[in-house]
Amino acid sequence: MKVLVTGGAGFIGSNIVDALVARGDSVRVLDNLSTGHEANLADVAERIEFLKTDLRDAAAVMSACKGVDLVFHEGALPSVPRSVDDPATSFAVNALGTLNVLLAAKECGVKRVVYAASSSAYGDTAVLPKREDMLQQPQSPYAADKVHGENLCRVFTRVYGLECVALRYFNVFGPRQRPDSAYAAVIPKFVDALLRGEAVHIHGDGKQSRDFTYISDVVKANLLAAEAASAPGQVLNIGAGGRTDLLTLLHEIAACLGVPANAVHGPDRAGDVRDSQADIGLAQRILGYNPNTPLSTGIAATVKWFRAQHAANARERKLS
């Protein structure tokens, strides 16, 4: 099967690429390397086609979709604070970029598009766990743009018969997630800071909670979504189904590293939601999705990857 992965040089995209290559698919990656890295594709570089292309370039996206059976659309600027700083670029990449992918997929006869939607669609609801039939209440430009993308997916299935499935990811973490951006997710930031012997920075009291979902479960969800007969037109939660607050998370990571759990608290962050937890019942029924990585196992694998990265960086510094 010929598969296009947009954002394939990123954290989630590159892990999907690995799984596709391992099962023998012919893989094309579209990425402009704005937040992604070619190093994420180093192990499979000889076996994939890489297009350094921008999602905002409709003609280039159209040509990337030629001859493709299946698209995993992971490409985006995936950050709430970045979108608050620059909502126009967030809209151009996340919303219009998704329209470009769907138009190209329709035109090129792609059989199915699996779209990386976001749990940020729910906003700051008091009701937990969050279910797909709850109101969309985006609280940031990023969340609004991702909701626009999933609405387009629904519409393209209904109006044009293009099979689209939107997966609302809940705080994905694991190897290859970067700590070195102002917009980085919390787990890589915590692991990286503690490995350097620094205190972690927490916005607010640290009692805000998230449904941390390990990358291998998210990759499995994507492969299932590409096949499941009743998935087209659906928006499905992809989480672990649990909830952990940041202070508990910090202590888990510190214990795994064998270091003190030092934290510095700052003000709350604009656009952030307080609590998040997925109801994964619909994804279980429609996809047969069954996340099976406990948080502690995921943290251990992530810490192992970070230790290897730090060791490799230290070797490089010594040589130069």
Please give the positions annotated as active site: 142
Least Cβ distance, residue 37 to ligand NAD (angstroms): 7
| Contact status, residue 298 vs residue 173, Cβ threshold 8 Å | yes
Note the residues at the interface with ligand NAD (CB under 6 A).
7, 9-13, 31-36, 54-56, 74-78, 93, 97, 116, 118, 146, 169, 171-172, 185
- Beta carbons within 10 angstroms of residue 135's beta carbon: 8
| Contact status, residue 173 vs residue 185, Cβ threshold 8 Å | yes
Structure tokens at 242: 């649990």
* Placement of tokens 């390990």 in the chain: 214
Q: Which is nearer to ligand NAD, 150 or 163 (CB)?
A: 150
Least Cβ distance, residue 232 to ligand NAD (angstroms): 19
Least Cβ distance, residue 266 to ligand NAD (angstroms): 21
Q: Which is nearer to ligand NAD, 48 or 55 (CB)?
A: 55
Chain Cα centroid distance, residue 113:
16
| Nearest CA among 90, 117, 2 for reference residue 48 | 2
DSSP assignments along 76-95, one per residue? S---HHHHHH-HHHHIIIII
Least Cβ distance, residue 158 to ligand NAD (angstroms): 22
Q: Which is nearer to ligand NAD, 156 or 319 (CB)?
A: 156
- Report how far residue 182's alpha carbon sits from residue 264's, in angstroms, rounded to the nearest whole number: 16
| Rounded alpha-carbon distances, angstroms, from residue 155 to 59, 159, 161 | 22, 6, 9
Chain Cα centroid distance, residue 7:
10
Contacts of 75 (CB under 8 A, 6+ apart): 6, 7, 8, 10, 13, 30, 31, 32, 55, 93, 97, 101
Q: Which is nearer to ligand NAD, 34 or 63 (CB)?
A: 34
Q: Which is nearer to ligand NAD, 51 or 199 (CB)?
A: 51
Least Cβ distance, residue 150 to ligand NAD (angstroms): 11
